[in-house]
Amino acid sequence: MSTSSTTDPASGRFLTKLTVIATLGGLLFGYDTGVISGALLYMKDDLALSAFGEATVVSSLLFPGAAFGALFGGRVADRIGRKRSLLVCAGLFLVGALGCALAPNVELMVAARIVLGLGVGAAAVTCPLYLAEMAPAERRGRMVTINELMIVTGQMLAFATNALLDHFIQDPHVWRMMLAVAVVPAIALFVGMFALPDSPRWYGLQGRMTEARNVLGLSRTPADADAEYALIVEHTSHMLKTKKTPLSVIRDVPWIRRVVVIGCGLAIVQQATGINTVNYYAPTILEESGLGVSASLVATIAVGVTSVVTTIIGIVLLGFVGRRTMLLIGFAGVAGSQLALSLVFLMAESTTRSYVILACMILFVGFVQMFIGTCVWLLLSEIFPLSIRGFAMGIAVFVLWCTNAIISFAFPVLNSALGSTGTFLLFVVVNLGSWVFVHRFVPETKGTSLEELEERFEAQDGRGMAQMTPA
């Protein structure tokens, strides 16, 4: 059963150090996906980007980069461990950031963005997975969602860095400095991961039980470590005897297949909010609404600050509110704020209209980050069974990045064809459909150990999970 005992000071310090270092992957994820919004305003002239070239530079990080980084990153995390997988991610971040900053033409920029995307995708799988497996049950929600906080902090830092560099450096090549800043946290992640162990669940899956018990002892009281170690031993003993591949497990076991489908559905609905239309195109939207380039970059910082503040509020709410309830509130709020945004675009062009558009975008971002962003990554790190956890999360995050890439690539085209009002009305309809999906299929996981969740899903054969009462 779940433990609820207090953590001693040494264990608390270890968990804090682990969370800070591991979530540098989330910070890089956020910075590298957010920085392009400001860099594009200069890069498109410097590299003579066409509309298609601009879309390719933005979306190449997402697909094939992050999508395949996630797909293979999950498999790599199962094969070589969560720790070494994060070291690989740090190397990809470093090489990709340097490549983007130094790229002399569009072709090399796209190649470097793909390398960066491989790191982003693999980190998007491995960071929450590692945190979920390292955390005591009662701290799991908070620790995993710190990664989401670091993602939005990275995006805010990207927006702020873009605006500061734009203000202080009057140079058409300033976009290179914007992209090069990511080198610093990449080096910090690489160095920091050498000070951390791998997760006890991964050690257990490898039959390395002594190491699993030792790692548990770093972050639990002796009694809690013994109890959780017994659960891991019992849970992994039958897995060590099977030679089935993760793909064959998903194919042959109906309840696991259902859980994977739900995970992929969560990945799709998170991106279908349209959040990345703001992350990637906010300065462009604001510039087209009548603000100048510099004013648009400064106004975009408000979006980044909103993401950070509302994510912190969301992390606090997760201590009191169930995951399902959070998602249902979030999708209702997103649909409402997008409806308001679509109507504001009908107003006559003015500075007032530009700032009302910004206010609606902030409201929209607030609902996504407070209620949806925090929950989806947490649920993806919790719902998959240990035997296929890295692989299944890789599939779900692959689907997430593919959806992200499709929406990010299609948004300028839709905006051109339907206008801003029509585009955001389309998102309203999509988000109402997402609300129905969550209500019908998504299970509650709050306050339950990973092993207990797996037993619960198996006992129900994956059916009616949305109606199951948490332990």
Question: Tens digits of per-residue pLDDT, 42-62?
Answer: 888 888 888 788 878 888 888
331 contact partners, CB below 8 Å, separation of at least 6 = 269, 273, 371, 372, 431, 432, 434, 435, 438
Q: State the amino acid at position 406 in one-letter form.
A: I
For 235-241, what is the mean pLDDT?
Answer: 73
Residue 469 has pLDDT above 70, yes or no: no
Alpha helices, DSSP H only, in 291-388?
Answer: 293-317, 323-344, 351-367, 374-382
For 431-449, what is the mean pLDDT?
Answer: 91
Residue 3 has pLDDT above 50, yes or no: no
Query: What is the pLDDT at residue 468?
Result: 54
4 vs 362, higher pLDDT: 362
| Weakest mean pLDDT among 72-86, 281-295, 297-311, 382-396 | 281-295
- 165 vs 51: CA distance, rounded Å: 25
| Weakest mean pLDDT among 129-138, 202-211, 291-300 | 291-300
Q: Work out the pLDDT band at 219, boundaries 50, 70, 90.
A: confident
Q: Work out the pLDDT band at 451, boundaries 50, 70, 90.
A: confident
- 238 vs 148: CA distance, rounded Å: 34
For 204-228, what is the mean pLDDT?
Answer: 92
Q: Does domain 9-196+242-467 have CATH number 3.40.50.300?
A: no
Query: What is the pLDDT at residue 471?
Result: 43
Residue 7 has pLDDT above 80, yes or no: no
CB 28 within 8 A of CB 154: yes
The candidate with the shortest Cα–Cα distance to 451, out of 1, 15, 81, is 1
pTM confidence score? 0.81
For 165-189, what is the mean pLDDT?
Answer: 91
CB 383 within 8 A of CB 444: no
Q: Work out the pLDDT band at 280, boundaries 50, 70, 90.
A: low
Cis peptide upstream of residue 64 (ω within 30 degrees of 0): yes
CB 149 within 8 A of CB 312: yes
CB atoms within 10 A of CB 105: 9
Residue 5 has pLDDT above 50, yes or no: no
- 381 vs 385: CA distance, rounded Å: 10
The candidate with the shortest Cα–Cα distance to 436, out of 323, 332, 364, is 332
